[in-house]
Amino acid sequence: MDFDRFFKDELAALKAEGNYRIYANLQRRRGEQTRAVNHRNEPREVTVWCSNDYLGMSHHPDVVGAMVDAAQACGTGAGGTRNISGNAVHHMALEAELADLHGKEAALLFTSGYVSNWAALSTLGARIPGAVILSDAANHASMIEGIRHSRADKVIWKHNDWRDLDRKLKAVGDRPKIVAFESVYSMDGDIAPVREIVEVAESHGAMTYIDEVHAVGMYGPRGGGVCEREGLAHRITLIEGTLGKAYGVVGGYVTGSAALCDFIRSFASGFIFTTALPPAIAAAAKASITHLKGSDVERQLQRRQVARLRAALDRHGIPHMANDSHIVPVIIGDPVKCRMISDILMEDWGIYVQPINYPTVPKGTERLRLTPSPHHSDADIDHLVMALASLWRRCALAHAVA
């Protein structure tokens, strides 16, 4: 077989569909949370509108300082897995901080949110005898992959439909059941009816597993997520989160009972056989969590800017998906047009919004996913909406002529 020919043909087909990913080549600058220099063609400053550094915490002086101090004290790497020479006081302190954040007995760190979902769900599904995992239809790829790798039986329930979940749980019968879902869904920005899901799961004796990666730091009086905001954290068996979005660093984690976390620590290959996070990363993440536990300023200002952006889009007739979260999806519905609009925004307006195409979202729902931060100014919002309005008028005129 001519392997390179095969690879090139597959890539050509992806490009023809408009789904080939092209990266921006960004250089971020400390203290300029919404700005970066794009080096893809010739260097130019752009305003970033698609970052998951939702609150700009990667630039916060306490977070940067904690990372620098720990790197100066400990060096850059962990030196091994947590089991072999890589466990540091910084990891233990961060896990204690995370357990406190969610009101749980324990927490366990992973190298990313993807890995924490993959490792935890695959371990639970594989090692609980006869387990059935009931998965929300819109769950993230990391959850789907973890469930698949577990080889446990899987039942998919309609997205955010707790009544369908109830029917599916009844059909499963007396087998051990794990209900896996998210709080904030990253592409549509919708928020799950967590209370109803929990009550249905409890009525069937099911374990609850919630992914709060797009909610931690963002919701609740201390940033504990939607579960904290709704007063439900104590009723959730396992809360999974990330350090790479609102907390501005990198890494993933799970929290739960001491026995649950120890079980995953002892059996999850994705934990056992991977190098630990660098101590400097753990120190920075702890500083970020500690700050957001005590400060609501960032969250309140971010919500103000989200509301302002949505109102401006409405005034100019630019369609965007309604939701109660911080994510503002502007639906384009065509991969080629989505890429084209993204390129024009970058080249003509100095605005960076990465197109979101299949397979991240279903075909026909291609979009620009906007994530306003507390550091986007009112002028930034006006500039973005002016650019989008100009493109919408051009598209409408072209359609009318055609």
Active site members: 245
Amino acid 72 reads Q
Two tokens, residue 111: 């190298």
Q: What are phi and psi of 30, to 5 degrees?
A: -60, 135
Amino acid 335 reads P
Quickly count: other Cβ atoms within 10 Å of residue 281's Cβ: 26
Q: What's the rounded Cα separation, in Å, for the pair 296 and 267?
A: 38
Using a CB cutoff of 8 Å and minimum separation of 24, what contacts does 24-27 make?
24/346, 24/352, 24/354, 26/352
At how many degrees (to 10) do helices 279-294 and 61-74 cross? 150
Which residues on adjacent β-strands are paired with residue 65?
none
Q: What's the rounded Cα separation, in Å, for the pair 289 and 63?
A: 9
Kind and range of the H or E element at 135?
A: strand 132-136
Residue 197, burial from CB neighbour count under 10 angstroms (0-12, 13-18, 19+): buried
Q: Which residue has the tokens 């099911």?
A: 206
- Euclidean distance between the first and the last CA atom of the chain, given in angstroms as a whole number: 45
Question: Nearest 10 degrees: CA dihedral of 277, 278, 280, 281?
Answer: -30
Question: Nearest 10 degrees: CA dihedral of 383, 387, 389, 394?
Answer: 160
Kind and range of the H or E element at 12?
A: helix 3-17
Contact 183, 212 (CB under 8 A): yes
Of residues 164, 195, 194, the one with CA closest to residue 182: 194
The pairing of beta strand 132-136 with beta strand 328-331? unpaired
Two tokens, residue 259: 């026995």
Q: Which residue has the tokens 């919701």?
A: 219
